[in-house]
């Protein structure tokens, strides 16, 4: 079955990673509204761009200003391009999956004007946000979700929130590529991976780095360079890679003793959790991250209440190689059910409901 996967921005973030691997494994067309900086291998993927990297529309400055009202720490690349959302509604034909509620406006417009059903993959919802400034986004999101024939989301936590708001949703966890064999020579460092901005509270990892009996490597792109440089000045104990290739990132996952990832009411899983497990590395997450749903306490990782407890757990694992080995074996075993092939097969079954 051929269908379209619609992605607003192709950059080094979890949403884009999921869309790319869905397109690759489900043999779907990937329609990218705007190209940004990324390291993904697009070979073998049928991809079309509406706006290439560096290009701007006449209304781009206005859309940036509007986006800053809601996401001031995410940088220019997070801009919601309303002109491209409308343009895509005239291009997409047939079954389509829209990544996030803003891309979903395209699906809503197609249903209104062409009568075509659509599916949404929701990563985070604004329906729980408080404040008058969120009124318009919340009304928009509710309309997009209520009119969608299929609403998918990435965690049980998100599903519960949506159902509390009257939206029926189905969980389809992201996928990964489980390795064949665990790295024998794990190294004495802890890894954390994300698309970094102030909202991810990077300073927490700086405080952890000061107190653990090993190194802490912070991998991944930053939404704003000035935020990264300020962090590096304040926390020289942390090894900050910045933008990193997929191959180098995989090597870090394999060699790390642990991966740590904190969320702050971040109901999505955080791709670092699943990708770490797939590379045979145990995970420490906090209760504010949807990725805790992958953690089996004491078997493939730990869910902690705060960074101080994380420090204790990290040092325990770094000092006990037998424990580290056991956690690693269980991490890889957990990941096998979440392969991208299994994800793509399930997604294709779901998308057939739109035909």
Max CA pair span of the chain: 62
135 and 21 within one domain:
yes
pLDDT of residue 270: 86
Domain that holds residue 228: 189-338
Closest CA to 104 of 125, 115, 120, 90: 120
Same domain, 326 and 216: yes
β pairing state of 46-51 and 258-261 = unpaired
CATH number, domain with residue 329? 3.40.50.2000
Do 155 and 42 fall within a single domain? Answer: yes
Q: Is residue 303 part of a domain?
A: yes
pLDDT recorded at residue 355: 84
Query: What integer pLDDT is reported at residue 341 of this predicted model?
Result: 96
The pLDDT tens digits of the residues spanning 293-305 come to: 999 999 999 999 9
Is 23 within a domain?
yes
Low-confidence ranges of the chain (pLDDT < 70): 73-75
Report the domain count for the chain.
2
**pTM of the predicted structure, to 2 decimals:** 0.91
* Whole-angstrom distance, CA of residue 63 vs CA of residue 126: 19
Q: Provide CB contacts within 8 A for 83, sequence distance 6+.
A: 57, 58, 59, 63
Residue 30 maps to a domain:
yes
CA dist 343 and 39 (Å) reads 22
Closest CA relative to residue 156, chosen from 268, 266, 262: 268
Tens of pLDDT, residues 197-229: 998 999 999 999 999 999 999 999 998 999 999
């Amino acid at each position: 079955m051929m269908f379209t996967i619609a992605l607003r921005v192709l950059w080094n973030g979890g949403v884009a990673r999921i869309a790319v691997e869905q397109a690759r494994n489900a043999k779907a067309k990937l329609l990218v509204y705007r190209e940004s900086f990324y390291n993904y291998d697009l070979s073998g993927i049928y991809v079309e761009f509406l706006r290439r990297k560096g290009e701007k529309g006449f209304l781009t400055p206005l859309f940036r200003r509007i986006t800053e009202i809601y996401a001031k720490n995410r940088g220019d690349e997070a801009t919601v391009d309303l002109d491209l959302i409308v343009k895509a509604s005239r291009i997409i034909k047939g079954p389509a999956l829209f990544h996030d509620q803003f891309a979903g406006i395209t699906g809503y417009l197609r249903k209104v004007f062409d009568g075509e059903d659509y599916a949404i993959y929701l990563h985070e919802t604004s329906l729980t946000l408080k404040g008058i400034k969120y009124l318009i986004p919340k009304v928009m999101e509710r309309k997009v979700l209520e009119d969608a024939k299929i609403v998918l989301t990435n965690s049980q936590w998100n599903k519960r929130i949506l159902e509390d708001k009257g939206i029926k949703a189905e969980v389809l966890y992201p996928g990964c590529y489980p390795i064949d064999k665990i790295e024998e020579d794990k190294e004495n460092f802890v890894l954390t991976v994300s698309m970094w901005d102030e909202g991810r509270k990077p300073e927490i990892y700086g405080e952890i780095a000061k107190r653990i009996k090993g190194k802490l490597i912070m991998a991944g792109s930053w939404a704003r360079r000035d935020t990264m440089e300020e962090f590096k000045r304040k926390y020289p104990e942390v090894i900050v890679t910045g933008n990193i290739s997929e191959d180098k990132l995989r090597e870090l996952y394999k060699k790390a003793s642990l991966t740590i990832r904190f969320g702050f009411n971040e109901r999505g899983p955080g791709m670092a959790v699943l990708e770490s497990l797939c590379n045979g590395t145990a995970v420490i997450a906090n209760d504010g991250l949807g990725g805790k749903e992958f953690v089996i306490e004491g078997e493939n990782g730990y869910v902690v209440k705060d960074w101080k407890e994380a420090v204790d757990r990290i040092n325990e694992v770094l000092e006990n190689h037998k424990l580290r080995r056991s956690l690693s074996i269980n991490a890889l075993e957990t990941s096998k059910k979440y392969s991208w092939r299994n994800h793509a097969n399930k997604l294709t079954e779901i998308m057939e409901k739109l035909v």
